[in-house]
Amino acid sequence: MRQMQMFGLVIMALTFIASALLYGSVPERMASHWDLDGQANGYVGKVFGLFLVPIIALVIFLFMVALPGLDPLRRNYDAFINEYDVLCTGIAAFLCYLHALTLAYNIGYQFDLIRLLAPAFGVMLFGLGMIMKKVKRNWFVGIRTPWTISSDKVWDRTHAICGSMFMADGVVAFIGIVLPVIGLLLAIAIAVAIAVFGIIFSYLEYSKEQPPSIKKARA
């Protein structure tokens, strides 16, 4: 495994260890879900509360590590393999961060979970934008529409502009440190809008590449 992948495994191993060490310190029913005001409104048994998220993070990580080998365009991963490793590890680290907040809350620390979620969400969005600028055409990662999958040029143009947008959205997410609910909802809304924009933009870019004869036939 590559260095960044090993780093991801270390993060998850530490998360499992922390959960095991805190087994006797958390309540039998652990808070596991919060509303937008940061108030716990969902609970699970301590075994699930301690180990479900780390297991999910590990499964997602291993699945993503295996994906390039399943992709018909696997050779394209060579051009962005370092960024792909960062993506795999980043998603796992984000889930482990959420789990760490859950553990801290359940052993008695008081804090605004939504406020602490904002910087992690912002970093994730900003990092995603940076990675999108490097990603090459593949079947699993990025804005995958019929038009981006069909053209390297459309893929690159779409991911260049949407990557910049996601980086900007990551900065917006930091508003959540001051205005937790507004910042979080605004960042999510912008992320959805970027995804929709990517679909439309890729179609328009692909249409520009079509020969005049095809355009006339469609008309």
Greatest CA span in the chain, whole angstroms? 72
Q: What sign has the CA pseudo-torsion 157, 121, 63, 193?
A: negative
Residue range(s) defining the domain that contains residue 131: 112-219
Q: Give pLDDT, residue 64.
A: 95
Residues 6+ apart with CB under 8 A from 12: 54, 57, 58, 61, 92, 96
Query: Which of these ranges, 46-55, 111-120, 181-190, 205-214, has the smallest mean pLDDT?
Result: 205-214
Higher pLDDT, 19 or 216: 19
* Angle, CA 137 vertex, CA 2 and CA 57 arms, to 5°: 45
Average pLDDT over residues 163-177: 95
* Angle, CA 173 vertex, CA 169 and CA 175 arms, to 5°: 125
Q: Read off the pLDDT band of 212 (50, 70, 90).
A: low
Average pLDDT over residues 30-39: 86
What is the per-residue pLDDT across 187-209, written as a single tens digit (0 to 9) for each?
Answer: 999 999 999 999 999 999 999 98
Whether 79 and 123 map to the same domain: the answer is no
What is the per-residue pLDDT across 128-153, written as a single tens digit (0 to 9) for each?
Answer: 999 999 999 999 999 999 999 999 99
Query: Which of these ranges, 8-12, 33-37, 94-98, 139-143, has the smallest mean pLDDT?
Result: 33-37
Last residue of a domain, one of 111, 132, 154: 111
What gap in Å lies between CA 187 and CA 20, rounded to an integer?
34
Tokens of 177: 């440190």
Whether 194 and 165 map to the same domain: the answer is yes
Whether 116 and 106 map to the same domain: the answer is no
Q: What is the overall mean pLDDT for the chain?
A: 92
Last residue of a domain, one of 111, 139, 173: 111
Whether 214 and 122 map to the same domain: the answer is yes
User: Tokens 């995603």 belong to which residue?
Assistant: 128
How many domains in the chain?
2
What gap in Å lies between CA 112 and CA 172, rounded to an integer?
19
Whether 104 and 2 map to the same domain: the answer is yes
Q: Give pLDDT, residue 137.
A: 96
Which residue from 172, 212, 163 is spatially nearest to 190, judged by alpha carbons?
172
Secondary element (H or E) of residue 44: strand 40-45
Crossing angle, helix 113-132 and helix 81-106, to 10 degrees?
180
Whether 10 and 107 map to the same domain: the answer is yes
